[in-house]
Chains A and B, each alone.
Chain A
Amino acid sequence: MEDRYNAYLLRSDEPGGSMGPLAGRTVAVKDNISTAGLETTCGSRILKGYVPPYDAHVVTLLREAGAAINGKTNMDEFGMGSTTENSGFGPTLNPVDPTRVPGGSSGGSAAAVAAGLAELALGTDTGGSIRCPAAFCGIVGLKPTYGRVSRYGLVAYANSLETIGPMARTVGDVSALYRVISRHDPRDTTMQGRPYEHDPAPTVAGRRIGVPAEFFGEGVDSRVATRVEEAIETLSACGATIVPVSMPSMASALAAYYVTCTSEASSNLARYDGVRYGPGGETARPWHEAFTDVRGSHFGEEVRRRILLGTFALSAGYYGKYYGKAQTARANVAADFERLFGTIDLLAGPTMPTVAYRLGELADPLSMYLADILTVPANLAGVPAISVPCGEVDGLPVGLQLMGRMFDDEAVIDAAAAYEAEATA
């Protein structure tokens, strides 16, 4: 099938196996996940031509499960963006409406699934990069609990926040893919040894679902809010108890997120100096000049902006004021979740404040950063969060976000399955 949405950076036709839980099923893999023998660029021109000599752990698991990896999907460069317009290789279009963005940064993976080019996809989520495109393209996307899927082979953007996760048209498929990719890997020592082995049961009966007022605050499109409120009523009708709650730490969540992710990124992206892989520098020139040139001309604007922000935040004299403070704010977010999960089982709200933007609509960086407000809390705390389609506004999909306790991805998936069953009934 033709890729009319620029979902893929590279297509391949691996046949897949005849055995295993994913035998013969097509899986699209986000281009920041290393694939031996398949170019892996992270949507960046600085990695053009880089072919990893090794498979990410999740890719090894996919192959063992019989999956047919059918290509590498487009993304915002190194995951830095919410629209997939920041790719070094052109934007991906939203299959629901090609004048719109698919969301990001896993926009290629979401578009591939939404367009029927792949049954399943792997995305990565640092501050909403699975859930946002899932919401905008009308599919299901799960950000697992931090430490439940090996990151070995995931090209790092912000290590302490990001995780690989499954994307598919249905909760059942998301669950099936999650089962495959959550096996233990000693090479990622942040893993907690808690593989996901659950068979989803579509039920929320008896669950207490908190609805934070902050998720319906300023900037949230009222029609989107209405769709999500209807979805929450559906969950209530399925037997869940709805509890209005508050998350005061949300006020500083976005700042904590951007200081943390840019700081880590400034360090993670230091290795792209043109010495070992990717487009090389001019070797006749002094090394400092050569690598400055490579970085200046091959990183995109948003990537350079975040490297500069992160470099500044970690600088002597500013560390305490920015990075240190961000970690305090981050701890407050985690404490807020922990407090809420003392009495309730799940949190619900919109995944994104709006529906998919028009291409070029989110031009200034600040409004793009603000669009992440509802998704970053889960990354700051490490808790699992899913986006499941819950209707449309003007023909564009809206996503319901459900968050759960650390390592209680099972409850999140069950609730999503319950909503899905009710909504499609």
Chain B
Amino acid sequence: MSDGQVIIGLEVHCQLDTKTKLFCGCSTDYRDDGPNTHVCPVCLGLPGTMPAVNRRAVEFALKVAKAFHSEIPEECEFSRKNYFYPDLNKGYQITQYDRPLALGGYIEIEGEEDGEKRVRLTRIHMEEDPGRLVHKGGGDRARYSLVDYNRSGVPLIEIVTEPDLRSPKEARRLLAKLRATLEYLGVYDSEKEGSLRVDANISISGHDRVEVKNISSYKGVEKALTFEITRQRSLIRRGATVERETRHFVEARGTTTASRSKVEEHDYRYFPEPDLPPLRVASWVAEIALPELPDARRERFMQQYALSVNHARTLTGDLRLAEFYEAVAGQEPALAATWVADTLLGELNYRDRTIATVDPARFRALLGLVKSGTITDRSGVEVLRAVLDTPEEPAAIVKRLGLAVTGEDTVATAITEVLAEHPQAVADYRTGKGNALNYLAGQVMKKTRGRADPRDIGRRLAEALTE
């Protein structure tokens, strides 16, 4: 087999969106504050301090495990992962090793072929985030590094998949589904910088596997994997071997590079954390009620709003988008679905903005104008752009740009004029040449400078011609 199957497995780290850290009471809301301002003796790892587990963080992780159908053992345990790094204040990270929070489970994604595909999970475990190094002087030429422990102790979950993914696109879909589910669960905020980190294991079947580390964005995952597949395939084509190694993703260049030291086989000397008794979670699990998750919401959208599967999938693929849609759907769910899923998302994507930046009330007003026929679909797009780019109300925008559909009289006048000016086209129409009507409509549009509703023009032209 010259064109081997692509095999991908992911290890996804997500910050849990708790108010306080995993083992102390420090706030996790550090992003707008100065370095080392959200720290205490515990998350600084000062001598003598001890961790005490934040129950909320465990409940968040349990929600995730439950949502992904994982098996949750009655008891799990924290372990120490020992290694030296300046951002690691204790010389070890408290994580979970041989007794993780959850085992197995799966995430359903839209497969490359028809229908849903189940990506199996290996495990889900909890751990503490280390601090962060800030290299002064930039990159490889940094003269010194500073350490910021604000992030130290923020709860993470690591979700490990089986090697069930077959393309970068599937990997992207898995991450999208994972993100959506975590946000529906209310345990994760994808908009916080650095809240996601992915390591990917990737191979071409029959060849050695490469681990790509340091991917920290959704778009980065697809890029890194696509690059890596091309690299591995070209090695194989040339008859070279794919070396089993760890590579780093360089986001700016969209490439992966070999880690400088090949001797990166760490011996982490894991052993159970003696300061934390094993966690018995059975009664906590029983208390957890899951909210409506993306798949259920998709089904409901199809039922309740009569949406196509594609629209329903798009609109439920992001919690804020789904909530936005429901806020604007009103009496015209089909119209709203088209406008949100097709038009609005395109405009947002172009502007690199998220749905959270759109005011549902103004958007709803825009939909109202389109629905009542006050403006045409085409003008609607123009109004939408102004809604996104200015704080103006849609009605004011319509007025300022003079986009209101012109009154009956203007259209009637235009039709009369056009019919008089184009006798040949009128004759063609009467002998049954279908194109003639379109031509005449175009002329009417021109006269009304696009402000009339094209469907309306077609209907009234036809009426005028049969009179």
Contact = CB atoms under 8 A, between A and B. Distances in A.
A298 to B, nearest CB: 14
Interface in A174-203: 186-190
Interface in B208-240: none
Contacts of A277: 46-47
A47 B47 contact: yes
B89 interface: yes
B271 A314 contact: yes
Contacts of A25: none
A266 B83 CA distance: 11
A316 B269 CA distance: 7
A121 B276 CA distance: 28
B151 interface: no
B275 A189 contact: yes
Interface stretch (B48-56, B161-169, B444-452): B48-56
A288 B84 contact: yes
A159 interface: yes
Interface in B15-70: 41-42, 44-53
A42 B147 CA distance: 26
A314 B274 CA distance: 14
A264 interface: yes
Contact of A270 (B46, B82, B86): B82
A99 interface: no
Query: Interface range on chain A: under 10, 10 to 19, 20 to 34, or 35 or more?
Result: 35 or more
Among B41, B47, B86, chain A packs the most CB atoms within 10 A around the CB of B47
A159 B267 contact: no
B330 interface: no
B21 to A, nearest CB: 14
A98 B283 CA distance: 59
A159 B275 contact: yes
A291 to B, nearest CB: 7
Nearest to B47: A155
Interface in B397-446: none
B144 interface: yes
A40 interface: yes
A264 B274 contact: yes
B80 interface: yes
A189 B50 contact: yes
B300 interface: no
A263 B80 CA distance: 11
Contact of A160 (B90, B145, B274): B274
A159 B273 CA distance: 9
Contacts of B274: 158-160, 190, 264
Nearest to B269: A314
A330 to B, nearest CB: 12
A323 B271 contact: yes
A34 interface: yes
A54 B50 contact: no
A270 B90 contact: yes
B276 A189 contact: yes
Contacts of A52: 41, 46-48
A140 interface: no
A34 B276 contact: no
B128 to A, nearest CB: 14
A270 B84 contact: yes
Contacts of A273: 84, 86, 91
Contacts of B80: 267
A288 B145 CA distance: 13
B46 A187 contact: no
B92 interface: yes
A187 B90 contact: no
8 contacts: A52-B46, A52-B48, A153-B49, A188-B275, A190-B274, A273-B86, A288-B84, A314-B269
| Closest 5 pairs between A and B when the two form their complex, measured CB to CB | A270-B91, A314-B269, A159-B274, A160-B274, A155-B47
Interface of A: 32-34, 40, 42, 47, 50, 52-54, 56, 151-156, 158-160, 186-190, 263-264, 266-267, 269-273, 275-277, 283, 287-288, 291, 311, 314-316, 319, 323
